[in-house]
Amino acid sequence: MNENPTVFKSTNSETTSKTRRKIPQLLGVFMFLLVGLFSLSFVEAKDFESTLKDLGNKSRSKIKKAIKDLGDQGNSAALPALEALKDNRLRVSKDNGALIILNESGDEGREALSDKQVDLKSLNLRKPRINNSVRRVLSSTIGKLQLQSSDPSIRLAAAEQLLKKFSSGLVELVQKALDKETNDEIREVFFLVLAKAELNSVDKKKRLQSLKIIKEFGSNDFKSDLERLLIKNEKGEFLEGDPEIRDSAKKALSSIETRQFFINQIANLFYGMSLGSILLLAALGLAITFGLMGVINMAHGEMLMIGAYSTF
């Protein structure tokens, strides 16, 4: 079968021409998306700065709203200012409204937005006024942003803090954080936080699942929660009516106590070896010193060392 080269040449020419016509269109779409992306980032940055500045507002209701908005924005850059507000280290410039974060001793300060060090003596500052209602929202927002931090150590500290002081309103937030978390140590703490929250759930399956997690990962911190499920009234009847829940609680409690027993034994072993080694070195030193001084002879030194080694 003979093919006409002229036909192929014409087809290739048309394809090349179409491709060339599409290149400016594709470049236009790319530039449009790029400009849109930068515009969106610019708007978000301005919105963040405006919201952060409201932490120094004279109105408590506006401060409270600003805290909530910062939590919704999910920008962990707000954490230093929020933590400073909680610790009474945040100040507001009366001249331009800039937020100043003081150090622990209160003798140095930095701008919240630029992180530039400032001369406190040259500034006219005031304290933002907050009450208990604002503090509650503040603590919740700080915890929320810490859970979303890119720093694993901050996320771990936030998770451990939740385990000590848990709020039922944070269950959904912890679940979302758990779904995104890749660090095994942090995931384990998240599991325990959710287990503690669901221990008193009306859903039996959730309670059994939480007891299973506590049995596997739990520490002495859960002993009081488990012992409550095994309390009896004056008639000798269990306050927890479900025998399956009680049985799971007993197993979890037993698992925690067994794990703690082995931890204590290992700690005692290291403590004993450490103390014994000190006694051994002391006996060696005394045997040599007293031997050289002529206070004891070789036999006495040997007995001293045998006693020290036996103690070790």
Residues 15-35 have a mean pLDDT of 53
d(CA 227, CA 184): 28
Residues 74-84 have a mean pLDDT of 86
Sequence-ordered alpha helix ranges (H) in the chain: 5-53, 60-73, 79-86, 132-147, 152-164, 171-180, 184-198, 204-217, 223-228, 243-293, 298-311
Q: Is the pLDDT of residue 38 over 50?
A: no
What sign does the dihedral 114-115-117-121 (CA atoms) show? positive
Point out the least confidently predicted range of 157-171, 189-203, 239-253.
Answer: 157-171
Domain residue spans of the chain: 55-148
Cα-Cα end-to-end distance for the chain: 99
In tens, the pLDDT along 86-120 reads 988 999 888 888 888 988 887 788 988 888 888 88
Q: Under 8 Å CB-to-CB from 10, ≥6 apart: which residues? A: none
Residues 7-17 have a mean pLDDT of 50
| Backbone angles phi and psi of 3, in degrees to 5 | -115, 140
Helix, strand or coil, per DSSP, at residue 81: helix
Mean pLDDT of the chain: 79
Q: What is the pLDDT of residue 35?
A: 46
Q: What is the pLDDT of residue 40?
A: 35
Q: Is the pLDDT of residue 36 over 50?
A: no
Q: Is the pLDDT of residue 178 over 70?
A: yes
Q: Is the pLDDT of residue 156 over 70?
A: yes
Q: What is the pLDDT of residue 208?
A: 92
In tens, the pLDDT along 213-242 reads 888 887 778 888 888 888 888 888 888 888
17: pLDDT confidence band, cut at 50, 70 and 90?
Answer: low
Share of the chain above pLDDT 70, in %: 80
Helix, strand or coil, per DSSP, at residue 99: strand
Residues 161-182 have a mean pLDDT of 81
Q: Is the pLDDT of residue 15 over 60?
A: no
Q: What is the pLDDT of residue 14?
A: 53
